[in-house]
Chains A and B, each alone.
Chain A
Amino acid sequence: MVRMKNQIQSIAEKYSNDRTRLMDIFWDIQDLHGYIPHKALRVLEESLDISTADLRETLSFYHFFHESPSGKFNIYLNKDVASQLKGHEAIYAAFETECNCKFGSVCMDGTFGLFETPCIGLSDQEPAALINLVPFTNLTPQKVKDIVAALRAGKELAALVEQYGYGDGANQQIKTMVCSNIRQLGPVFGEKISTGEGLAQSLKSTPEQVIEEVKTAGLRGRGGAGFGTGMKWSFCRAAKGSTKYVVCNADEGEPGTFKDRIVMTEYPEQLFEGMAIAGYAIGAQQGILYLRAEYKYMQDYLEGKLKDLRAKNILGQNVLGKSGFNFDIRIQFGAGAYVCGEESALIESMEGKRGTPRVKPPFPVEVGYLGCPTVINNVETLAALPYILKNGGSWYKGFGTEKTPGTKLLSVSGDCEKPGVYEIEFGMTVREFLAMVGAKDAYAVQVSGPSGECINAQQSLDRKLCHEDLSAGGSMIIFNKDRDLLKYMRYFMTFFVEESCGICVPCRAGNIVMRNNLDKIRAGHANQEDLDNIFAWGQIVADTSRCGLGATSRNPIVSSFKNFPDLYKKLLDEKTNPLYDASFNLEASVEDFDRALKEQNQIGRNVHA
C-alpha cells in the first residue's frame, strides 16, 4: 500500500500535481497497474486537491480507462460498419471461443479482457482489433486462434507483429502491421517538399501576411465542418491574451475515417511544421497534438519525429533563426470518446475533464485551452500548410472548385476493390469516385460518416464532392446491393447513442427514441406515424442539442430515407413485408428476458463444468 502510494504520488509529481494533466496521470497509472484502482484515487485526491467524485467523473467518461482489474491482454475488437462488412461476426465468435469469455468481460484467469469499440481508424484493413492498443489487422478466425494461443503460451505481444505495414518495419520506433494504403496522391501531398521549406517561407513574412496567404488559398477545415482556416486564425490572433495555443485535432473518430492516420505516419514533418506555421501566425509558443488512444502505437514514432525537428531547429527556441519565435509541441492522448473530436470537448479533455462540449460562446479562439485563445485545426488542414506557404495561396486555390478550393484526402472502405486513401481535387463527381476506387456495383455510399449523408450511388453519379454539393469530410463507406442498408443505419444510431456525452437532454434521450422507432420499423411493427415521428423528433433533437453530435445524429435515418424511401416503405406494408405485424408480439416482447435466462443457465453450466 505504501509502495503504491509512492508510485501514484510520483506519477502526479511528474505532472507537477497539475489536475489538468489528469488524462496523462490516468494513462500512467493504468500502464502500471492494468487499471486505475480505487486506492490510487485516494492518493490523487490529496496530490491534485480534487475529490474522488471529481476524479471518477473523468475516469468513467472514457472507454479505454478501466476502474476494475482488466485482462493482462485487453482486446478491443472494432465493431464498426467497415468491420461488419468484412466478417466481424466470425472474428467476434472466434475471440469468445479462444479466450473462453464473453465480450464485455475478463476471462476467469485474468489473461484476456474482451471489449468492443467503435471505429479504430483501420477501415481499409478490417476486421481489426487492438490488443493492449497494438493494432492487429485483416483478422481471420485462424489468425485469432493463433494470436490467442501464442499469448497464452507466453509469447510477447510485440513478437506477434510479424508482417510490417508501414515502411517494412525498418523504423525502430514503429513496427506495425498497419498499412498506409495510399492509392492515389494529388497535386498537394504528391509534391516532394523538404522539411522546413514552408515554415522558412512563412518566417520571411509577417504573421498577418501568413494569415492572408492562407485566406487567399481558401483553405477550409478538413475535419468536416469546413470553417475557413485563415479566418479562424485571424480571430485568434486578434483575441486578447499573451499565451495562445495551437491544437491539432487528431481525434479522428468519425466511423470510416482513417486519412489522418496516414498523414501522421507518412507526413509527420509536414504536420508538425504546419503547427509551427499556425503558431507563428497566431502568436503561440506551444502546440499540442491531441491524439486518439487508438493511435497510441504511433507514440514513439511521433516523439522521435519531434526530436528530429528540434534538432533541425524547426521546433525550439528562435525557430530557424527567427529571433523571438519559440515553438514546441507535445502529444496529449485521449482515451476513447468520439465526442472529443468536437473542439471544445477536446479542450475539456486536454484539461483533464470529461469530454463535454462547452457552452458557446465564448469560442475557443477567444477562450480555449486553460482559458487562453486557442486554434484547433484538423491534422490534414495543418499538414497542407507547408505546401501552401511554399507555393503560395493562389497556387492552392487553383485546385478544386470555386467555393471549396484545394484537395482532399478520402478514406475509402467497404465494398470496393481498392480501399485506402486517395487525394482528390474537390469537385470530383461520384461517378469518377466510384470508378477510381473500383466500386462496380455500388448501391449506397455513406459520405462523411454517419454524421454525413447516405447517398444512393446510382442516382448521385453526377453529384460533386465539395462543400457546395456533397460535403466530403473524409469517410467514404461503400455498400453494394446485397447489403441490408438499414442494419448499418441502425448501427450508426447506436453509435450516436453510445457516444453522446450525456450532458444535454435531447441528445442523451432523443437519439434513443429515434433508434427505438427504427427498430420498430425493421421489426415490422411500425406504421407511417412511427416513421413520421422519427423525422419530427429528429428535428427537435437537431435544433435543441448543444453540439454537432446531436445536430447530426438523425442523419443516418433522414438521409437513408430521403435516398432509399422504398426500403422503409416496404417495411410498413404487409403486402411487401411478410413479417409485418403491427399488433402486439409476445415473443419479441419477452425476448430480452428469454435471452437473460438462457445466459444465466449457460453461466451456471460453465461454473459447474
Chain B
Amino acid sequence: MPKITFKIDGKQCTAEDGQNLVEAAADNHVYIPTLCHMKGEKCLGTCRVCMVKVNGKDMAGCTLSVSEGMEVTFDTPELNDKRKALIEMLFVERNHFCPSCEKSGRCDLQALAYRFKMHIPRFRYRYPFFEVYSKVDKLMLEHNRCILCQRCVEFIRDPDTNRKIFSMRNRTNKSMIQVDYRLANKMSEEQIDKAVAICPVGAIIKKGQGFDEAYGQRKYDQHPIGYEVDGGTNSK
C-alpha cells in the first residue's frame, strides 16, 4: 500500500492511501473518540461523536478515507462541544445510572463523559420506561443503557447460518435492539463474551457475571479512554 501524508490540526501524519480516518489518526497518536466504530470493521456511522471538519464541512470521521494532502480539523472548541452534546443527548435519551451498572469503569460512554468533563447534561432528562429483557438463557438486554450503536447488530452473527442474532426494532426514538431468542440461546460462551465486550455500554450483560473487577482496577480506572492512542497528551 502506498503511503500518503495528511494533516490533523496542522500535525503532519502518514497513513495508507484510503485508510479509515479514525484508524489512521490512531496510528498517528491522535485519538478521535467514537462509540460505534471498531477497528477493521465496516463503518456504522451511528454515534457521530467522531465529527471532524474537512474542507469546512462537518463530517463523521469514521465515514472518511484519508487521501494525500487532506486537511482535517479535529480539536476545536466548537467540535468538542458538538461531541459533548452528542454524549449528553445519549445520557438523557435513556436511563444511564452509572453507580448500578456492571459496565461502570469499562463503559465507553461513561469514559467519554469524563473525557469531555460532562457534569449535568444541557438537555432535560427524559426518563423513558424500558423493561430489561431477560428471556435469553445466558444474557440480558438492558435497554435503559442502550445507545443503539448497532455493533451487536452488525458484528454478531449466528455462526452456522450467518443470520442476524441482534437487530433493530421500530424507528425514531422508539428504536430498540431486539434478539432472535432461538439464535441467542445457541450462542457460545465466547460469542456471548464478544457481544458483551463490543457493547460500548452496559446494554448486553452476561447472566451470572457482574461486578467482577474491583474499583480502581477497572479498565478506565487504569487509564482514561484514548490513553492507548494519545498517551494522555490530549484530554479531549
Alpha-carbon separation in the docked complex, A515 to B92 (Å): 15
List the 6 closest A-B pairs by CB distance, nearest first. Answer: A502-B175, A53-B180, A51-B163, A509-B89, A53-B167, A359-B45
Verify B171–A546 contact, CB threshold 8 A.
Answer: no
Verify B170–A502 contact, CB threshold 8 A.
Answer: yes
Q: For A98, list chain B residues within 8 Å (CB).
A: none
Is A57 in the interface zone, CB < 8 Å from B?
A: yes
Q: For A502, list chain B residues within 8 Å (CB).
A: 148, 168, 170-175
Name the CB-closest residue of A to B81.
A540
Is A354 in the interface zone, CB < 8 Å from B?
A: yes
Q: Which of A480-528 contact B (CB under 8 A)?
A: 497-506, 508-510, 512-513, 516
Q: Which of B135-193 contact A (CB under 8 A)?
A: 147-148, 150, 158, 161, 163-175, 178-180, 182-183
Is B43 in the interface zone, CB < 8 Å from A?
A: yes
CB distance from A328 to the nearest CB of B (A): 33
Q: Which of B46, B161, B170 contacts A60 (CB 8 A)?
A: B170
Verify B164–A54 contact, CB threshold 8 A.
Answer: yes
Known: A51-B163, A546-B45. A498 touches B172 (CB 8 A): yes
Q: For A516, list chain B residues within 8 Å (CB).
A: 124
Known: A49-B161, A505-B86, A509-B90. A60 touches B169 (CB 8 A): yes
Q: For A546, list chain B residues within 8 Å (CB).
A: 45-46, 48, 60
CB distance from A183 to the nearest CB of B (A): 36
Alpha-carbon separation in the docked complex, A516 to B49 (Å): 23
Is A50 in the interface zone, CB < 8 Å from B?
A: yes
Q: How many residues of B are counted as interface, with CB atoms below 8 angstroms from the partner's CB atoms?
A: 46
Q: For A497, list chain B residues within 8 Å (CB).
A: 172-173
Name the CB-closest residue of B to A52.
B180
Is B9 in the interface zone, CB < 8 Å from A?
A: no
Q: For B170, list chain A residues within 8 Å (CB).
A: 60-61, 502
Is B25 in the interface zone, CB < 8 Å from A?
A: no
CB distance from B176 to the nearest CB of A (A): 9
Known: A53-B179, A61-B171, A502-B148. A544 touches B163 (CB 8 A): no
Name the CB-closest residue of A to B82.
A540
Verify B123–A513 contact, CB threshold 8 A.
Answer: yes
Is A555 in the interface zone, CB < 8 Å from B?
A: no
Is A56 in the interface zone, CB < 8 Å from B?
A: yes
Alpha-carbon separation in the docked complex, A61 to B165 (Å): 18
Q: Which of B93, B158, B166, B182 contacts A509 (CB 8 A)?
A: B93
Could you pull out 18 A-B pairs where Cβ atoms are within 8 angstroms?
A49-B163, A53-B164, A53-B166, A56-B178, A57-B167, A359-B44, A501-B172, A502-B173, A503-B46, A504-B48, A505-B49, A505-B86, A508-B172, A509-B173, A510-B89, A513-B92, A537-B122, A543-B51
Is B126 in the interface zone, CB < 8 Å from A?
A: yes
Alpha-carbon separation in the docked complex, A294 to B123 (Å): 36
Verify B47–A505 contact, CB threshold 8 A.
Answer: yes
Alpha-carbon separation in the docked complex, A545 to B60 (Å): 9
Alpha-carbon separation in the docked complex, A543 to B48 (Å): 10
Known: A51-B183, A509-B93, A513-B89. A501 touches B45 (CB 8 A): no
Q: For B44, list chain A residues within 8 Å (CB).
A: 359
Is B73 in the interface zone, CB < 8 Å from A?
A: no
Q: Encode contact with B along A122-158: 1 for CB under 8 Å, 0 otherwise.
A: 0000000000000000000000000000000000000
CB distance from B100 to the nearest CB of A (A): 22
Is B85 in the interface zone, CB < 8 Å from A?
A: yes
Q: For A509, list chain B residues within 8 Å (CB).
A: 89-90, 92-93, 123, 173
